[in-house]
Amino acid sequence: MHDDASRSVPHYYNDVLPVGNAQRQPLVLCLDTSASMADEPITMLNGALRDWVHELRADISLTNSVEVALITFGGQRVCTWKGTTPLPDTADPDAFVTARAFGAPHLQASGVTLMTEALRAAVRLVAARKTALRAAGHLYARPQICLITDGQPTDAEGHPTDDWQQIVPMLTEQQEKKKFLLFAIGVGGISPHGERVLRAIAPDYYARLQGFPFRQVLQMMSASAGAQDKGDGEEVYKKIFARFTTQRSAWDT
């Protein structure tokens, strides 16, 4: 379909469907809730999510465009959440909730770090959502995925695994084609090996951070989503991310 709406879409929205008149910004949080996140880290993550809910609702530009889905990897499985409700299907496109209506679940930490499976689920979820938006006739900006972890991938028994290497070519291709923007954030003094994993899966947008600055990470995601909503180009996202990684205290002001 070629109409006035499609011709007005900025050229850097490589992955926007040029039909309809209501642009959406899908955002997936892919959160580590394994045993290493127990106690203070998971408490801080839950608090940051609650604060972020209020910040999203207070930002009129984001409430009109951003839609959020959560994926957690901990316990013995990967779980997709629709707001506060866990879903049986990890790729259910209805997992996305508008920023205006989004509510955060109360997360608990236990079990293993099924990071590879979680990333696969995030990619499937984004693809399913784009298909659903296409069918409904909505414009959409490039989806954003934010992985936050304090560890490294394990198998279902909790043993370290290199199976994440199998998905690197797919993630690389998808990012190069601008199918989604992937942020990979290591927190809590993640190990050098963990950092290598993050660098491999998101070479342009990975960070290894001390402590658990979840609130600042979520604020950075809001800023990135807001920039994309305004039609800003790739360099703007890189500047936002560089500012976050070098001046995190600025996100508290």
Strand partners, 144: 27, 181
Spatial distance between the Cα atoms of 129 and 127, rounded to a whole number of angstroms: 5
Spatial distance between the Cα atoms of 247 and 47, rounded to a whole number of angstroms: 22
Nearest residue to 178 (alpha-carbon basis) of 220, 128, 219, 140:
140
Nearest residue to 38 (alpha-carbon basis) of 107, 116, 130, 121:
107
CATH number of the domain that 210 lies in?
3.40.50.410
Supply the DSSP symbol for 166: G
Spatial distance between the Cα atoms of 178 and 187, rounded to a whole number of angstroms: 26
In a domain, 251, yes or no: no
In a domain, 17, yes or no: no
* pLDDT by residue, tens only, the chain of 253 residues: 333 333 333 333 344 443 334 589 999 999 999 999 999 999 999 999 999 999 999 998 888 889 999 999 999 999 999 999 999 999 999 999 999 999 999 999 999 999 999 999 999 999 999 999 999 999 999 999 999 999 999 999 999 999 999 999 999 999 999 999 999 999 998 999 999 999 999 999 999 998 999 999 999 999 998 886 665 678 888 889 988 888 755 444 4
190 CB contacts (<8 Å, ≥6 apart)?
149, 150, 151, 152, 198, 208, 209
Range of the domain at 36: 22-246
In a domain, 100, yes or no: yes
**Residue type present at position 195:** E
Nearest residue to 153 (alpha-carbon basis) of 42, 78, 92, 204:
78
In a domain, 236, yes or no: yes
In a domain, 121, yes or no: yes
Domain count for the chain, please give it: 1
Whether the pTM exceeds 0.75: the reply is yes
117 CB contacts (<8 Å, ≥6 apart)?
73, 78
* Residues comprising the chain, all counted: 253
